[in-house]
Amino acid sequence: AVQDEIRRSEEDARRKVIQRVRAHDLIMKVSDTEWQWDRSKLTIYFTAEKRVDFRALVRDLASTFRTRIELRQIGVRDEAARLSGVGRCGREYCCSSWLTELSPVNLGLAKDQHLSLNPSQISGGCGRLLCCLKYEHEFYVAARRRFPKEGKTLRTAVGTEKVIAVDIFRERVFLRSEEQGPRIIPLVQLREEVEQLGDVLMTAERRAQMAGEGPVVAPARPAAPAAGDSPATPEASARHSRRRRRGGGGPSNPPPARD
């Protein structure tokens, strides 16, 4: 009963604060008010795009409520956590129900998951990007390592095909070739075709990417020793050294010795 009374008084205090904010012509939004249990302090939470000089407002509110006033500026995500609400998933906001720490969320998370970049579809009630974009991000990144990247060209049983899209849930790859048109095949079948018909280096790279092992670096090819790489006679060696100092080109092998 006491808690309900305090709640009603807090709502009444919020309405009065809003009236005083309008009277002082301040650009700020009063989100919530909170009484201390003994009514010795009234905390007012607000949001504002810019810095607000509310010193005159604090003096006005102190004389109105006859108590100590604390104005605390919060962000829009903190505001959503305080006021709560129902998200697009039909459940209570994570930030107001169980999420204790608000981690930064950027647009790259939506891009990695191939979601629509329309702000209305990936934003929460606070107007910022959905916190849940971060929950499954690691899964999407790990799953996509097993697939070829979109836009890559592969040599398959059909010929040369371009990867249009991938479906990580159904394990399918969307391909298109100029001769045969589009087709959809399982990832396992694509691996087999690439391994059977692709060249050796490309096959190794694709297999590593599809298995999530990272790119395969081909070993450096050792230079084949050519016959006559080093001069056979002292005279030829001297001519070869002078030519290198002058920066000249031409064959470094000496002429064949005559019998």
Chain segment 107-124, per-residue pLDDT in tens: 999 999 989 999 999 999
- Lowest mean pLDDT of 30-44, 86-100, 104-118, 231-245, name the range: 231-245
Residue from 245, 237, 242, 244 nearest 253 by CA: 237
pLDDT value for 237: 47
What the block records as the tokens of 61 is 């509110």
For the chain, first and last CA: distance in Å? 120
Each residue of 52-81: pLDDT tens digit?
Answer: 999 999 999 999 999 999 999 999 999 999
pLDDT value for 198: 57
Q: Please give the Cα distance from 89 to 91 (Å, whole number).
A: 6
Each residue of 223-242: pLDDT tens digit?
Answer: 444 444 444 444 444 454 44
Which CATH architecture is the domain 145-210 placed in?
A: Roll (2.30)
pLDDT value for 209: 58
Q: Please give the Cα distance from 1 to 34 (Å, whole number).
A: 17
Which residues lie across from 44 on neighbouring strands? 33, 71
Q: What is the band of 218 on the pLDDT scale with cuts at 50, 70, 90?
A: very low
pLDDT for residue 221 is more than 70: no
Q: What residue spans define the domains of the chain?
A: 2-74, 80-139, 145-210
Residue from 129, 13, 15 nearest 76 by CA: 129
Domain 2-74, CATH among 3.30.300.20, 3.40.50.880, 3.30.379.10, 3.50.50.60: 3.30.300.20
Each residue of 153-190: pLDDT tens digit?
Answer: 999 988 899 999 999 999 999 999 988 899 999 999 99
User: To which residue do tokens 């709560």 refer?
Assistant: 84
Per-position b or e across 22-59, b if 16+ CB within 10 A of its CB = eeeebebebbbbbbeeeeeebebbbeeeeebebeebee
Express as a percent the part of the chain with pLDDT over 90.
Answer: 64
pLDDT value for 195: 87
pLDDT value for 220: 39
- Lowest mean pLDDT of 82-96, 172-186, 243-257, name the range: 243-257
pLDDT for residue 9 is more than 70: yes
Q: What is the band of 211 on the pLDDT scale with cuts at 50, 70, 90?
A: low
Return mean pLDDT, the chain. Answer: 82
pLDDT for residue 216 is more than 70: no
What the block records as the tokens of 222 is 């050792």
